[in-house]
Amino acid sequence: MKTTGNTILITGGGSGIGRGLAEAFHALGNQVIVAGRRQQVLDETTKANSGMRSIALDIESAAQIGAFAGQVEQEFPALNVVIHNAGIMRPENLHAQQDDLADAEATITTNLLGPIRLTAALLPLLKRQRTAAIMTVSSGLAFVPMAATPTYCATKAAIHSYSQSLRYQLRETNVQVLELIPPYVQTELMGERQAKDPRAMPLDSFIAEAMEILKLQPGATEICVKRVEDLRYAAASGKYDDFFKAFNDAVAA
């Protein structure tokens, strides 16, 4: 993926990793559009970055995604990059689950159905561009799940699988498919505590390393910073079961 000369849509672009990516691409001279549910957060981001644009989007709403895609095509006909960053992460006690699976259902709709629906809606536009890219955002937890957030981890594993299939199906088109695999990063994905957790990778360091990989490896299919490699390649190490137990025991401690 080229890092300049693009028109880029980033979902969940008003905060966290999404905002970090938006500002990094904006600084390189790309036209960046951030999308998300919270208009105030989007406004704060665009106000701080002159020329950046925003469009409100509830990624859980299938009907809204169709209308949103039409608006994007009308206002930004040169759109050639979509970054599926919007996501939610909620702890779940599986012992206590009964009829109300609202957290699990919202997580699946936001993290998995949202990117699938938006890809379907925008793919015709992307295929009309000379060069285009779709970047999904999975997680190191797609490869070693954190047991306390089972549905989140399952959706990220599904996004990894979906990305591989999408890449293969689009192999003879102009649309490149990349997967960004974040480690534990200092964002507010699970609240203020995560944003200040010294065990998490600082957001600016993560964005800088990810952007450097994109610049140096334009043909890369996975953007995998050093900090996440233990999770990404746990299965290949041959010691997955021990790693899974040690990882989850440490999280639970």
Q: Which residues are catalytic?
A: 152
Instruction: Say which residues have a Cβ less than 8 Å from residue 61's Cβ, sequence separation at least 6.
Output: none
If we measure between CA atoms, which residue out of 144, 123, 121 comes closest to residue 134? 123
Can you tell me the distance from the alpha carbon of 77 to that of 20, in angstroms, rounded to the nearest whole number? 24
CA angle 30, 69, 131 (to 5 degrees): 45
Residues making up the chain, counted from first to last: 253
3-state class of 233 per DSSP? coil
Can you tell me the distance from the alpha carbon of 86 to that of 115, in angstroms, rounded to the nearest whole number? 8
Contact 97, 127 (CB under 8 A): no
Q: What tokens appear for 112 in the block?
A: 């998995």
